[in-house]
């Protein structure tokens, strides 16, 4: 049987890959995809601990995370469309109106 630590470490690796993408990529859409990766890594952690404890609570948490991620994707992509319409770009280095 694969130990829980293996799953936790896999989740940590996926989370770090997603975080690196958020920090490095400049296309807002790809940054969004990296956030989805990080959410999935947290889901994997919930499910690993659910198996560890033999408790369905973790499954409920993962279920709610998926639902919230769906809402977040809908709103976020709508915001991206609005930004692209007004700026003509999705490069996050060119979108700096609220920086100062």
Partner 1 sequence: MTAEVLLFWVFGTATLIGAFFVISARSPMSAAMALVATFFFLAGVYVLLWAHAIAVLQVLVYAGAIMVLFLFVIMLLSLDEAEISAPTLKVSRLIGGASTLGLLAVLGLAIFRLGLPPPSPQSPAGQASFGSLRALGEIVYTTYLLPFEAVSLLLLVAILGAVVVAKSRI
Q: Which residues are at the interface with partner 1 (CB under 8 A)?
A: 1-10, 12-21, 23-27, 29-30, 32-34, 36-37, 40, 43-44, 47-48, 50-54, 56-57, 59-60, 62-64, 66-75, 77-82, 84-85, 89-91
State the Cα–Cα distance between residues 72 and 34, nearest whole angstrom: 13
Question: 11: exposed, middle or buried (C-beta count within 10 Å: 0-12, 13-18, 19+)?
Answer: buried
When the beta carbons of 37 and 95 are compared against partner 1, the nearer one is 37
Minimum CB separation of residue 74 from partner 1 in Å reads: 5
With contact defined as beta carbons under 8 Å apart, do 25 and 52 qualify? no
Minimum CB separation of residue 14 from partner 1 in Å reads: 6
Minimum CB separation of residue 100 from partner 1 in Å reads: 19
Closest CA to 34 of 87, 26, 44: 26
When the beta carbons of 43 and 100 are compared against partner 1, the nearer one is 43
CA atoms within 13 A on the CB side of 74: 5
């Amino acid at each position: 049987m694969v130990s829980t630590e293996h799953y936790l470490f896999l989740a940590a690796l996926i989370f770090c890959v997603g975080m690196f993408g958020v920090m490095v990529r400049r296309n807002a859409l790809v940054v969004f995809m990296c956030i989805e990766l990080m959410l999935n890594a947290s889901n994997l952690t919930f499910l690993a601990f659910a198996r560890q404890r033999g408790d369905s609570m973790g499954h409920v948490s993962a279920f709610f995370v998926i639902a919230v991620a769906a809402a977040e994707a809908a709103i976020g992509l709508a915001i991206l469309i609005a930004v692209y319409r007004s700026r003509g770009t999705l490069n996050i280095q060119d979108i700096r109106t609220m920086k100062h």
